[in-house]
A and B are shown apart, each in its own frame.
Chain A
Amino acid sequence: MNLVWRATAALATALIACTAIPVHAAGQLDVPPPVGYRPALNTAEGGLWAIMDKVEDQIKVSPALVTDEALNTYVHKVVCELAGEQCSSLRLYIVDDPDSNAMTAPNGMVIVWTGLLLRTQNEAELAFVLGHEITHYLKRHSVLNFEHATNAAGTVAFLSTATLGLAALPAALIAIGGIASYSRDQEREADEGGFKLVVGKGYDPRQGATFMANTAEEEDANPKRRKPSAYLSSHPATKERLATLTKRAGEIEAQTRNNLVATDEYRAAISPHRAAWLEEDFNRGDYLQSVAMVKQLVKAEPGSAELQYFLGEAYRRRNAKGDLESATAAYQAAIAAMDAPNAAYRGLGLAALKSGQKDVARGAFQKYLSLEPDAKDRAIVEYYLTTVGGTP
């Protein structure tokens, strides 16, 4: 349950109950917020905006904010197309964090986690996720929740925005956006709204379902994980959503020829960052999920040497039974493909070293150092070489 939303929901109830603070004139929540709209501070919604504004101030100065212009331009383009005339009300922030998530706040702040950009495989998938979130914004779901929520005084766990004053990102973002407090009906509405938005822009409507299926598969890779996927947690059951989306896509397919997927444009925007985002995902130490996720990426792009290399890394670091063999196969596939990263030889060496294959390890490490004479990790690779009777 999203803690900030609950806190602010509780706040709203207190305000309404005690002080008869004006909420809204009737009917105003039926339409998207007009461009330039700003609620008065002494309204419940105003209080909510004040908190979101504070979070936005923190995001702006966070070390995690991604400022890369090309990436921001690309994602902003997709946001804007979907939002239509609301585009000028929205402000995009891309945050460097391995969680797969996106959210909109009622004050117009749109946040996209790099973990999401790593997992969406084409523009149509990204558009579906963003369309879903923008629909929450257009339908003013969080404001509605805020004003109708009851204060569940029995539950004591919540997020105090007191710490948001001290906290920047990404933890604050995870807390706010990770587990949305939208009701199931609102999630269904956002799915339908997102679907309509992407269809309206000519995107292939089946891509959203593909993304959800991949997310569910990654989740299932570690059923014991203590934190569910930020994106899925409060949503209606994935199977139901998949079924609905698939059905809707089938309906549309008969009527239109929507087929915009824009895989090439998507990959062009993402590829400069993907290696760093994959490393960051692995550094979480949740290798069961990492392996599942990289396998999905490889399936969509089997010719990518970079992805084969990272598949090797994921297996090597997971190190479950049979993983060293899988890692070796992946490193070799990377080496066989075009533009193999030099690090694939290092990976091969590490896997061979752990399997006791000294000759293979020696050859691989020597090859790595010859390809990367200025390798930053030369010192440790030279050490490994000495343990397998080699010289750099």
Chain B
Amino acid sequence: MDKIVFRILLLVVAVSLAGCATTTAKKNTMATFQWTSPTKRIVLVQPDIELSELDAGGVLEPRADWTETARGVINKGLRLHFTKSGAVVVDAQGSTAHEVQLIKLHGVVGQEILTHLYAAPQGTAAGNAPLPNKGTALDWTLGPGTNEMRDRYGADYALFVFVRDSYSSAARKALDVLTVIAGAALGVGIIPASGLQIGFASLVDLRTGNVVWYNRLLNGSGDLRDEKTSTGTVDELLKDLPI
């Protein structure tokens, strides 16, 4: 296996996911969802979205056109949500090296939350692979370095969105393939036969850097390639967002 970490062997899984279309939002129990200023400003970090097509051989092919459609849908849905709630959306510019590092740090934090609050250890029923020192609490932070963003944008919160979505090609659906599962440590990813949609939305309080709200989306009901059916996906993603 060469140094390119992104080299992924994709194998197909015939397992159907139990409990699909679940979203379970988590809140940091210490957080109070309040605004510093009467103008409620929220920074929207550019959503990290990728839609792919799963072909007959189990190969995941990124689709730029699908991704653009999904990006449009999600951006529109996010802004509509905040229009309704009365918050002003500001787009993050990523203009300083520090801000870029904060955004990259969030990429890691978001995945650790996914792993430790939503994932299940091997061989167990649905549950999670918790860190014993955290349990089921949403207790993660980017650190107070986020004050720089608070000052630059005049915003109290930042919202991050991450979506990976794959859809089977027609050829793929015709096959019925058995599973081989390999360990994550080998850089092997498994995509279910029907494709996999996974995403999260994460709300960071820029005054403290704490992740105060987090929601995972798994195999939602909408097709993000299609504007008409996909607005539901955004609603699921932002379900129970307290601001």
A175 to B6, alpha carbons, bound, how many Å? 8
A142-177 residues with Cβ-Cβ distance < 8 A to B are 151, 153-168, 171-172, 174-175
Question: Given the known A-B contacts A63-B97, A154-B57, A165-B48, are A11 and B6 also in contact in the complex, defined by CB atoms under 8 Å?
Answer: no
* Residue B7, interface by CB 8 Å: yes
The size class of the interface chain A forms with chain B is: 35 or more
* Residue A42, interface by CB 8 Å: yes
A358 to B63, alpha carbons, bound, how many Å? 65
A contacts with B: majority SS: helix
Pick from A43-51, A125-133, A295-303 the stretch touching chain B: A43-51
B1-51 residues with Cβ-Cβ distance < 8 A to A are 2-11, 48-50
Judge whether B61 and A14 touch: CB under 8 Å.
yes
The size class of the interface chain B forms with chain A is: 35 or more
Judge whether B55 and A10 touch: CB under 8 Å.
yes
Judge whether B64 and A46 touch: CB under 8 Å.
yes
* Residue A376, interface by CB 8 Å: no
> Which chain A residue has the least Cβ–Cβ distance from B56?
A153
Partner of A157, one of B8, B48, B62, B100: B8
Residues of chain B within 8 A of A178, CB atoms compared: 4
B157-208 residues with Cβ-Cβ distance < 8 A to A are 164, 169
Residues of chain B within 8 A of A51, CB atoms compared: 62, 64
Judge whether A3 and B6 touch: CB under 8 Å.
yes
Judge whether B62 and A171 touch: CB under 8 Å.
no
A129 to B5, alpha carbons, bound, how many Å? 27
Judge whether B60 and A160 touch: CB under 8 Å.
yes
Partner of B104, one of A156, A168, A175: A168
A166-203 residues with Cβ-Cβ distance < 8 A to B are 166-168, 171-172, 174-175, 178
A3 to B61, alpha carbons, bound, how many Å? 11
Judge whether B68 and A160 touch: CB under 8 Å.
no
* Residue B139, interface by CB 8 Å: no
Central interface residue in A163, A164, A227, by most chain B CB within 10 Å = A163
* Residue A7, interface by CB 8 Å: yes
* Residue A226, interface by CB 8 Å: yes
Residues of chain B within 8 A of A161, CB atoms compared: 50, 62
B contacts with A: majority SS: mixed
A171 to B65, alpha carbons, bound, how many Å? 25
* Residue B107, interface by CB 8 Å: yes
Residues of chain A within 8 A of B8, CB atoms compared: 157-160
Judge whether B65 and A153 touch: CB under 8 Å.
no
Judge whether B62 and A162 touch: CB under 8 Å.
yes
* Residue A61, interface by CB 8 Å: yes
Judge whether B55 and A162 touch: CB under 8 Å.
no
Partner of B53, one of A14, A159, A227: A14
* Residue B52, interface by CB 8 Å: yes
Q: Mark A30-72, 1 if CB is under 8 A from B, else 0.
A: 0000000000011000111011000000000101000000000
Judge whether B2 and A227 touch: CB under 8 Å.
yes
A178 to B104, alpha carbons, bound, how many Å? 24
Judge whether B9 and A157 touch: CB under 8 Å.
yes
Judge whether B6 and A163 touch: CB under 8 Å.
yes
26 of the cross-chain contacts (CB-CB < 8 Å) are: A3-B4, A8-B62, A11-B61, A14-B55, A14-B61, A15-B65, A41-B64, A46-B64, A47-B63, A50-B67, A151-B59, A153-B56, A155-B57, A156-B58, A159-B6, A159-B7, A159-B8, A160-B6, A160-B8, A160-B50, A161-B50, A172-B6, A175-B7, A226-B2, A226-B3, A227-B2
Q: Chain A interface (Cβ within 8 Å of chain B)?
A: 3, 7-8, 10-11, 14-15, 41-42, 46-48, 50-51, 61, 63, 151, 153-168, 171-172, 174-175, 178, 226-227
Q: Chain B interface (Cβ within 8 Å of chain A)?
A: 2-11, 48-50, 52-53, 55-65, 67-68, 94, 97, 100, 104, 107, 164, 169
